[in-house]
Amino acid sequence: AQKITQTQPGMFVQEKEAVTLDCTYDTSDPSYGLFWYKQPSSGEMIFLIYQGSYDQQNATEGRYSLNFQKARKSANLVISASQLGDSAMYFCAMREGQGTALIFGKGTTLSVSS
């Protein structure tokens, strides 16, 4: 079974609109961390946001927020006010227990149009 599932291969949004990228995860470890990375066409992996399993509040970083629903095991990324520069591949990832290796989903390609 996949540990990280991103069901949207591609998403399209217009500038200034909000968009939600879905991510569900599977773990039996009570301690875990959830990450989102952005990969533009240049190929670099850019860290966006982190949510710990014990964090009470949803994480936010500027225009990025993580909609963490623990019971549903979902960690959706919300990008508010999309910009052309947000066009990229987005990866959801999970760290389990005390390890630091990340398990990645297959990614979602976001295209932002003017």
Q: Which is nearer to another protein, 9 or 85 (CB)?
A: 9
Residues in region 73-102 near another protein by CB under 8 A: 91, 93, 95, 98, 100-102
Query: What tokens does 107 get?
Result: 């990614």
Distance in angstroms (rounded) separating the CA atoms of residues 101 and 35: 12
Q: How far is the CB of 36 from another protein (least distance, A)?
A: 10
Among 33, 68, 76, 94, binds another protein (CB under 8 A): 33
Q: Which is nearer to another protein, 14 or 60 (CB)?
A: 60
Contacts of residue 97, defined as CB under 8 A and 6 or more positions apart, other chains included, come to 29, 31, 32
User: How many Cβ atoms sit within 10 Å of the Cβ of residue 11?
Assistant: 16
Chain contacts with another protein (rule: CB under 8 A)? 4, 6, 9, 33, 35, 42-45, 47, 50, 52, 91, 93, 95, 98, 100-107
